[in-house]
Chains A and B, each alone.
Chain A
Amino acid sequence: MTATPTSSRPKVAAPLLEVEDLSLSFRSGSGEARVLHDVSFSVGSGEIVGLVGESGSGKTVTSLALAGLLDPRTAVTSGNATLNGEPLLGRGSANRSDLPLAMIFQEPMTALDPVFTIGSQLMETLTHRQGKSRKEAKREALVLLEQVGISDPRARLASYPHQLSGGMRQRVMIAIALACAPRLLIADEPTTAVDVTIQAQLLELIKRLSVERDMSVLFITHDLGVVAETCDRMITMYAGRIVEQGEVEQVLSKPRHPYTAGLLAALPSPETRGRTLAAIPGRVPPPTQVVTGCVFAERCDHRADECGEPQDLAGSTHQVRCVRSAELTLIGAQRLEVGR
């Protein structure tokens, strides 16, 4: 799979981010809760990879582990993760700041400091991470604000977060992330809190920056529509495990895991009007529950005896963790062969 209809940019063979057998448990009074189970994936240079799943599927905690934002006193990680060859796990916070990695969050209002101006927060990152003088930092800050599409950047430097709209704040967050000169941007539901018109603007911005800066993006979302429009590849997570991953076109048009197919079937649209949506009954099992076989089995319509056995993630470019995937015909999204 070198080129897909969705992306025209060339893929680099060596991945930028490599995650191997990442496992994570949280220690608590009542014991250990295992929230990630041998998660392995990679993100190529300049590639946008979507990480999808319901709440509780482990997508956010994966990104927090990679960004080193988990408390080492309670979070126990194992496995390997490298960014551009540099190990990501087990680093102290001190030598983290030279990693070319940045993260943006769902709610920019809580991610920005309300008592400092946009300018000072942006310049702080530039002086701190890139060792720039205040003068240089200010010049660079203006350039960054312009790049993320903020009009009248000079005036905006003196603004406080509450003076900006939600879309503008998220643009500022992206500018601050860019100030770290990231090769990898982790975007955790960056458009969930904004309106659909603003979402369209932000998605265009993220796509454009990814191309312009050859920046990879790990895009965490529960919105399959956003994945379809933005990402090159996608990873479906369920209960702390990767259950399916592959090129977006393939996974959406021909899903091979019943959970991915279930998420697609649950989407409302003008075409589903008057019909009953195919809901996925039940809930994500709690992390304290030990499951030996397929973790999705208890909610799955296609459950059979062999689902009680441990399941592996199988396949080359389109991987799936389901013993029955070969015999199942799952309904995907209707996608035309032509690209966009």
Chain B
Amino acid sequence: MSALQKGPDEAAGGERRAPLLELRQVSVRYPVGGRRRLTAVDAVDLRVHEGETLGIIGESGSGKSTIARAVLGLAPVSSGKLLWQGEDVSGFDRAQRREFVQAVQMVFQDPHSALDPRRTIAQSVREPLDVMRRGVRGSRQEVAMQALADVGLTAEIAGRYPHQLSGGQKQRANIARALVTRPRLLICDESVAALDVALQAEILNLLQDLKVNYQLTIMFISHDLSVVAHLADRMNVVYLGQVVEDATTTSMVDQPRHPYSEALLSAQPHVNLHEETNRIVLTGDIPSPLDPPPGCRFHTRCQHAIDRCATTTPELTEALPDHWAACLRTEELYGLTGRAKELI
């Protein structure tokens, strides 16, 4: 098994088209004074296939938002490659760049601060088109109004200012703004975290409808496992800037192969009781990315850590078919079925 240390898709078998978006060994580092650098994203490999919803989950400080920002060019890619439909984004000419920028749009977490308080909703939603100078003004307005209608906002609301809208309406407006350029990839960064459960359900339903109607591929970033598990086809678990597990949602939820994913799943409070569950409560906080632990970065909080974990850095390996985990002990802990706790 350890010989199979390649990226998740190469071993998936069958001819798959180039992913819509691919991150290859992407790192994002920030200088933090002196000679020190903070590595927010560390050599991350990631693939988003056309039509797929990819969930990215992790605690705050895990670097999940930085991944999204790096894709959009809002964070500096220090090393590694960003591929759009198999082509290196850094090699794009002006026209390609322009196309890429329109094809990737983002919906942010806080619906209020993402809208300009001095512009009407229609102006804000039209703004990306104005910036791109697409078509004439009249047609831009038409596109904006159509996008607003598609997210369930009336023409009356289009003339209002953000403070006159509820949280749910504002988030709909943000989604409409992301849609006007007809993106192919929509990145949602904690887009429902600020909403109540009833509103959250509405926005999640809306995203699913839009995914079909606009033929979207979605990258959904969240710390909330139940939201990601509801929406995503595939999940990537991120810890301290590294992907520690990559699997289909079903496989991840049913049989996590990394102790961190298992702990995250176990920590999620749930109203449904399935079985006598033994909750895994991780001790301590996520370590500082300024000074990440050596070896496996999770070993300081892992209940299964052994000496080797502090010295050897685990690579993503295929623990189950199309299910990748970066843990030295995954085979030993989980075997082919069952969960780690049975071993202890």
Minimal beta-carbon separation of A207 from chain B (angstroms): 11
Contact with A along B218-233 (1 / 0, CB 8 A): 0000011111011110
B249 on the A face (CB < 8 A): yes
Known: A201-B282, A270-B249. A264 touches B271 (CB 8 A): yes
Within 8 Å CB of A281, what residues of B? 202
A115 on the B face (CB < 8 A): no
Among B27-35, B36-44, B87-95, B273-281, the one that faces the other chain is: B273-281
Minimal beta-carbon separation of B195 from chain A (angstroms): 9
**Does B229 lie within 8 Å of A54, measured CB to CB?**
no
**Does A225 lie within 8 Å of B270, measured CB to CB?**
yes
**Does B205 lie within 8 Å of A279, measured CB to CB?**
yes
**Does A268 lie within 8 Å of B230, measured CB to CB?**
yes
**Does B197 lie within 8 Å of A195, measured CB to CB?**
no
**Does A196 lie within 8 Å of B204, measured CB to CB?**
no
Known: A195-B60, A229-B269, A270-B253. A200 touches B279 (CB 8 A): yes
**Does A199 lie within 8 Å of B204, measured CB to CB?**
no
**Does B225 lie within 8 Å of A196, measured CB to CB?**
yes
**Which positions 247-268 of chain B face chain A at CB distance < 8 Å?**
249-250, 253, 263-264, 266-268
B164 on the A face (CB < 8 A): no
**Does A195 lie within 8 Å of B223, measured CB to CB?**
yes
Known: A54-B197, A272-B230. A336 touches B275 (CB 8 A): yes
Minimal beta-carbon separation of B309 from chain A (angstroms): 18
Known: A54-B198, A199-B267, A279-B202. A273 touches B230 (CB 8 A): yes
Within 8 Å CB of B205, what residues of A? 276-277, 279
Within 8 Å CB of A334, what residues of B? 272-274
**Which positions 273-305 of chain B face chain A at CB distance < 8 Å?**
273-277, 279, 281-283, 285-286
**Does B249 lie within 8 Å of A277, measured CB to CB?**
no
Q: Which residue of A lies closest to B208 (CB)?
A: A276
Within 8 Å CB of A167, what residues of B? 285
**Does B271 lie within 8 Å of A268, measured CB to CB?**
no
Within 8 Å CB of A228, what residues of B? 269-271, 273
A55–B196 Cα distance when bound, in Å, is 7
A333 on the B face (CB < 8 A): yes
Within 8 Å CB of B59, what residues of A? 195-198
**Does A279 lie within 8 Å of B198, measured CB to CB?**
yes
A246 on the B face (CB < 8 A): no
B201 on the A face (CB < 8 A): yes
Within 8 Å CB of B196, what residues of A? 54-55, 222
B272 contacts which of A222, A280, A333 (Cβ < 8 Å)? Answer: A333
A197–B57 Cα distance when bound, in Å, is 12
B166 on the A face (CB < 8 A): yes
> What are 30 pairs between A and B in contact, CB < 8 Å?
A54-B197, A55-B196, A167-B285, A195-B286, A196-B225, A197-B263, A197-B281, A197-B282, A198-B59, A200-B266, A223-B197, A224-B197, A225-B268, A225-B269, A225-B271, A228-B271, A263-B198, A266-B200, A268-B200, A268-B204, A270-B229, A270-B250, A272-B230, A273-B249, A276-B208, A279-B198, A279-B199, A334-B272, A338-B276, A340-B277
Given A276-B205, A333-B273; 9 other pairs, CB 8 A cutoff? A196-B264, A224-B271, A227-B271, A262-B198, A264-B271, A267-B197, A272-B230, A277-B204, A333-B272
- Rank and list the top 8 A-B pairs by shortest CB-CB distance, nearest first: A225-B269, A268-B230, A266-B201, A277-B201, A270-B229, A200-B267, A333-B271, A279-B201
